[in-house]
Every structure is written in structure tokens, then in C-alpha cells.
Amino acid sequence: MHHFWIRAVVLAAVVPAACSGQQPKPSYKGDASASGVLAGRSGKPMGNAHVFLGKVEDDADVLQGTLRLGGLPIAQTDAQGHFKISGFSPGSYTLVYSPAGGSSIVPTEISIKALQAVTKSILPQMNGVEIGLTQPLDERKWSTFTLLKGHTFRGEGANMKIWNATLRRGATGPYLEVRKGWIWQADFKDKAEIKLEAWSF
């Protein structure tokens, strides 16, 4: 993989570590609540999964900021994939999840610099085209992540980059979703209804 511009995103765990000399992290605690459903693209509900609310923060030291989980609510889906998250301020958030049987704890930090890397295109004559829609791509290692089967790339001539995918960090997760080259996000208002379809499930 070759790196062009890099976007560093970090996942902070349920209890962020205190670091001397750093600016205090903004608080996203509030009294808003949202309901949602986690399902696969097939429509099959992802029951008994742990769901972690994450916030993309601006950071002058990196191009696109960090993804924070520490101090934000978590939830567990029921058998039909429904969940309710409470105790946050309205805003734009993402969801990181661990399927049934997976861990209810996430690492303190996960670098996702690799998500902006590119690799040699399998269709170098194609530019601006989504690769993998007609012929599903097999699971592949991508730095510390695994792109699950069915992910797609965007062809950029000689290179291609992640476009739509479910990514697993390490051997067991957690999992996150990328859409059109960026981490999936939604507007979490009070009493919002959120639906996340996992690309590879």
C-alpha cells in the first residue's frame, strides 16, 4: 500500500486515559437519546451486538481529527437489532460495534491512518469507478484492519482506495463502517431514529 494524504483517527475507550500537558477533551454528555437498529445489508438484524457511540473531533495536528469513544454512551441490541442510546449532546456521531459474542470493551486508541492508504488497482484503466460491485471482493488484510468480504474500492487509475466497507480491527474487532471513503456518520438528534446497515453482513 502507498500513502497519499493521511487522515489519523483514534478510537478512545470507555474510560480515556489522563495525559498530562494535553488540552482537556470536550464533553459530549447530555440528556439526548436516540433509538436505532443495526442490521446487515441483507436486512437480517444484528442481535445482541454491543454498540459504541463515537464522535469525530477536529484536531489541528491531523487532517481529519480523531474518533472518540471515551465517555460516550454504549448500548446492546436486542434480538431484532434494536438499541437505545442515552446521555449525549445532539450532533454528528458514528457507531462502532462488536457483533454478538464479541467484546463489550474497545481499545483505548486505534490508529486508522491506513484507511486513507491506496493500493495498486486491479482495473488500472478505470478511473472514478467503484470496483467490486459486480464481482464481490474477498476479505483482505489492510494494515491493522481486515476489509470484510464484499468491500468495494474506488478506482483512481493506477491505484484504488477503500470506498464502501465493513472493517474489523485485529482478529476480533471492534468493527466500523466506511461509506464513500469516510467513516459512516449520522445526525443524532434527541429522539432520532438511526439505522446502520453493516456493509459486509
What residue type is assigned to position 163 of the chain? W
Between 161 and 17, the higher pLDDT residue: 161
User: 85 or 20: whose pLDDT is higher?
Assistant: 85
- Residue 68 CA to residue 80 CA, distance in Å, equals 27
Which three three-digit cell numbers place residue 22?
494535553
The answer to whether residues 96 and 52 touch, using CB atoms and an 8 Å cutoff, is yes
Q: Is the per-residue pLDDT at 100 higher than 80?
A: yes
What's the whole-model pTM score? 0.81
* Contacts of 1 by beta carbon, 8 Å cutoff, 6+ apart: 114, 117, 118, 119, 142, 143
Amino acid identity, position 99? P
pLDDT digits (tens, 9 = 90+) for 27-81: 788 999 999 999 999 999 999 999 999 887 654 434 344 667 777 899 999 999 9
pLDDT confidence of residue 61:
39
